[in-house]
């Protein structure tokens, strides 16, 4: 039962984080083309104000709950890694890196060297979700 609760926390926090990236990359970016710069900055300011309180916390919950899910579902290693363990490890690495990057950026103001924006996290989240679906089928 506890595992299911953590998995639900994982899915909802991923939904909030992924939803933010989707809105930012696919909606706000498109609005930039149709709004004046002043109007766009105003809209963006409001978006940032409302999301700043929630999204970084959702990312932390996604990573923390993921680490627990990983610990329980990884399984023992027999004659090297199974395909499931390889795919889950790639997912866990990419997602943990996203988490670390996000926490350093938001809570410590430490910017990554490259790709400071939200496009890279968006692409990585799509890859991570894809991995989360294929990892059980190999
Ligand atoms: C932003 C980051 C993350 C995203 C977008 C994400 C996405 C997902 C999704 C969509 C699932 C559901 C799969 C399903 O039931 O169909 C899932 C499950 C899982 N995630 Fe994540 N995840 C993230 C971070 C992490 C991290 C950091 C870890 C481990 C260190 C992790 C480990 C797992 C595990 C083990 C499962 C399988 C749970 C199960 O099926 O019982 N996740 N993740």
**Per-10-residue mean pLDDT for the chain, 138 residues long?**
96 96 89 88 89 91 96 92 95 94 85 81 96 90
9 lines ligand 1 (CB under 6 A): no
Check the CA dihedral 33-37-43-47 and report its sign. positive
Instruction: Round to the nearest angstrom and report the end-to-end CA distance of the chain.
Output: 26
132 lines ligand 1 (CB under 6 A): yes
Nearest CA to ligand 1 atom 7: 129
pLDDT at 123: 95
Across 34-72, b (16+ Cβ under 10 Å) vs e yields eeeeeebeeeeeebeeebeeebbebbbbbbebbbebbee
pTM assigned to the model: 0.89
135 lines ligand 1 (CB under 6 A): no
| Residues 48-75: tens digit of each pLDDT | 888 988 999 999 999 999 999 999 999 9
82 lines ligand 1 (CB under 6 A): no
pLDDT at 87: 96
Nearest CA to ligand 1 atom 20: 66
pLDDT at 53: 87
Share of the chain above pLDDT 70, in %: 100
pLDDT at 117: 82
pLDDT at 105: 85
């Amino acid at each position: 039962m506890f595992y299911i609760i953590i998995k639900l926390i994982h899915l909802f926090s991923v939904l909030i984080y992924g939803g933010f990236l989707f809105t930012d990359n696919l909606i706000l970016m498109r609005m930039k083309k149709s709004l004046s710069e002043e109007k766009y900055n105003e809209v963006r300011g409001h978006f940032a104000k409302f999301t700043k309180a929630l999204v970084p916390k959702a990312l932390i919950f996604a990573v923390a709950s993921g680490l627990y899910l990983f610990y329980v579902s990884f399984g023992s290693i027999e004659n090297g890694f199974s395909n499931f363990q390889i795919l889950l490890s790639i997912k866990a690495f990419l997602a943990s890196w996203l988490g670390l990057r996000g926490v350093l950026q938001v809570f410590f103001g430490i910017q990554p060297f490259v790709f400071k924006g939200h496009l890279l996290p968006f692409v990585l989240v799509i890859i991570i979700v894809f991995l989360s679906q294929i990892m059980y089928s190999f």
